[in-house]
Amino acid sequence: MNQGTDYITEEKKRALEEELADLRGPRRKEILKILEYAKSLGDLSENAEYHQAREDQGKLEARIAKVEEILKSSETVSGGGGDVIKVGSKVIIQKQSSPSAEPGKKEQKTYIIVGSEEADMALGKISNKSPVGVALFGRKKGDSISLMAPSGVVNYKIINVS
């Protein structure tokens, strides 16, 4: 698995295909109806409804092009598994003790490595191209990684990979 490649999961691929079908079908028809109505109002140079509909149409077509490009250029991967961290892997890392840390407290974080299109920190999904994703990619359970943070270097140990 090449870290520089753009990846999407099967789940994301299905979601993008559904979105594309909606954008090309119902959404496009809806905007065309709005455009026809706006044209019927007369003078297009001072017609706010027409200009808004044209702007919405431009955004829709741009989104269609973006989704098509993502689907065409991304490699689809299934869930993780295995010992080596790759796109789709669920990883648990533990912050290594620092002099300022509370004794006995080991901070753990769980991440799922995904392609950049799916990254969502709130859900624990990090991009394979993010600093943490780059540091984890290709590593195994038991390995240690170091990351540069605003407060300095932070060391983590990989507790589990699934």
Picking from 77, 102, 128, the residue at the C-terminal end of a domain is 77
pLDDT band at 71 (very low <50, low <70, confident <90, very high): very high
- Report whether 14 contacts 78 (CB < 8 A): no
53 and 109 inside one domain? no
Both 98 and 156 in one domain: the answer is: yes
Say yes or no: 151 and 102 in one domain.
yes
Mean pLDDT score of the chain: 88
In a domain, residue 1? The reply is no
List the CATH number of the domain containing 18: 1.10.287.180
> Are 157 and 101 contained in the same domain?
yes
Mean pLDDT (whole number) for 38-52: 86
pLDDT of residue 3: 57
Mean pLDDT, residues 1-26 taken together? 87
Specify whether 156 is located in the same domain as 108.
yes
User: Sign of torsion, CA 42 44 45 51?
Assistant: positive
Verify that 49 and 97 share a domain, yes or no.
Answer: no
Q: What is the mean pLDDT of residues 21-48?
A: 91
Residue 100: what pLDDT?
55
pLDDT for 102 equals 57
pLDDT mean over 80-100: 82
Contacts of 33 (CB under 8 A, 6+ apart): none
Beta bridge partners of 75: 7
